[in-house]
Amino acid sequence: MQDERPAGLRRPRIPNEKRRECLDLFQSGCGYKMTASRTGLCRYTVREYLRRYKDGDTSWADRGSR
């Protein structure tokens, strides 16, 4: 789904390095609050990543560029 907001108002894409860092922290047993704190990402975003990780989906951890 294409974001309908003007380019200046879009949120920046989270770099793959940060996504992989989240994945590594989840695999080492960290929860979403600690992971968000360590990576500097929004805890709601990290909570969604953790929910998907627990469901067996790790496709979010390596997204291609636009």
Domain ranges of the chain: 14-55
- In this prediction, residue 62 carries a pLDDT of 86
Distance in angstroms (rounded) separating the CA atoms of residues 11 and 29: 28
- In this prediction, residue 8 carries a pLDDT of 72
- In this prediction, residue 10 carries a pLDDT of 75
- In this prediction, residue 58 carries a pLDDT of 92
Amino acid at 56: G
- In this prediction, residue 26 carries a pLDDT of 96
- In this prediction, residue 5 carries a pLDDT of 66
Mark the ranges of the chain whose per-residue pLDDT is less than 50.
none
